[in-house]
Each structure stands twice: as structure tokens, then as C-alpha cells.
């Protein structure tokens, strides 16, 4: 395995601190890892500019690279801005299995505060209602399924 592949694997395995069922790579916030001489440099995009977990995520990726034996540096990548379109198919399935409805439709189709029709991650029903525009984090909304009565978070399209 090349040094770059080894560095990518180390960084890509870091779980998201707010949604630990998915990794930073599955969320699409780990943009790239490249070797610059002996330094593994990772590009990281925050989910949104005010995300309180951004610094923690960057430190966790840096620590993972250091634990893998690399000198590490993180570069914050703000352009293009992260979008929920970058969440991998595997990441979307992991969110659903964890009880969080993944974003539905392409980003930019719904406003951050809108209430789109969302499928329940537990029973699959589309008979759901938004309870609150904000869930456990600002990038999620709280919904409830009318079919199974379970509340759940919905990861908003951004």
C-alpha cells in the first residue's frame, strides 16, 4: 500500500463526532489526503461555516494521521462549500440504520428551514411530520412518523 493510500485510510476512518455511525470520508467532509514530502496533508470541508465540531474533526484527523506514523497537516477547504450530495451511498445507508433519515433529493432543492417530505428511517413510511426545524444539531431537523409514531432526526439537504 502506498504512503498516500495508507494516509487516506487512516484519515478516512475517523468517525464524525456528532454522528458517529459515519466516518468523515462517508460524509464527504474529508476531501483529499496527499503527501507533500514526508507530510500527510488532509483537506477538510466543514458541513457549514458555523459548525462547532469543525475544529474537533480536524484535530481527530490530524491525530489519526500522527498515530499512523505521519507528520500531519490539515487544510480547511471552504470552496466549493460542502453539500449533502457528497454523502456517500454507504454513508446514507449507515445514517438510516442509525435512525437518522438521510437527505432526500439534491442539495439546493429545499431551503434550510423548509419541511420536505421525509421517509421514516425505521419503517419507511412517508407519512411524517416535522416537529422542529432543528434536531440534535443545526444540520438536522426533528420529525415524527405518523405510521410508527417514532421521532427521528432528518439530515437536512444543504
List, in order of start, the domains of the chain with CATH numbers: 3-76 (3.30.300.130), 100-155 (no CATH)
Q: How far apart are CA 66 and CA 60, in angstroms?
A: 10
Q: How far apart are CA 110 and CA 65, in angstroms?
A: 36
* Contact (CB, 8 A) for 128 and 120: yes
* Contact (CB, 8 A) for 4 and 42: no
Q: How far apart are CA 32 and CA 28, in angstroms?
A: 10
pLDDT confidence of 9, banded at 50, 70, 90? very high
DSSP code, position 50: T
pLDDT confidence of 135, banded at 50, 70, 90? confident
Question: pLDDT > 70: what percent of the chain?
Answer: 93
Using alpha carbons, list the distances in angstroms from residue 40 to 56, 59, 129, 131: 18, 14, 45, 43
Mean pLDDT for the chain overall: 92
- Residue 148 vs residue 49, higher pLDDT: 148
pLDDT at 11: 98
- Residue 55 vs residue 104, higher pLDDT: 55
pLDDT at 158: 84
Q: Answer whether residue 66 shows pLDDT above 70.
A: yes
* Contact (CB, 8 A) for 90 and 105: no
Neighbours of 106 (CB within 10 A): 11
pLDDT at 114: 60
Amino acid at each position: 500500500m502506498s504512503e498516500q493510500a495508507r494516509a487516506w485510510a487512516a484519515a478516512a476512518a475517523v468517525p464524525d463526532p456528532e454522528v458517529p455511525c459515519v466516518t468523515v470520508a462517508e460524509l464527504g467532509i474529508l476531501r483529499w489526503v496527499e503527501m507533500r514530502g514526508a507530510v500527510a496533508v488532509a483537506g477538510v470541508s466543514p458541513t457549514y461555516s458555523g459548525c462547532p465540531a469543525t475544529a474537533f474533526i480536524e484535530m481527530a484527523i490530524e491525530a489519526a494521521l500522527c498515530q499512523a506514523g505521519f507528520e500531519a497537516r490539515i487544510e480547511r477547504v471552504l470552496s466549493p462549500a460542502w453539500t449533502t450530495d457528497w454523502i456517500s451511498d454507504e454513508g446514507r445507508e449507515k445514517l438510516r440504520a442509525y435512525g437518522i433519515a438521510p437527505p432526500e433529493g439534491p442539495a439546493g432543492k429545499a431551503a434550510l428551514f423548509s419541511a420536505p417530505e421525509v421517509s421514516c428511517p425505521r419503517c419507511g413510511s412517508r407519512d411524517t411530520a416535522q416537529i422542529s426545524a432543528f434536531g440534535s444539531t443545526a444540520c438536522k431537523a426533528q420529525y415524527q412518523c405518523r405510521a410508527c409514531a417514532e421521532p427521528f432526526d432528518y439530515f437536512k439537504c444543504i
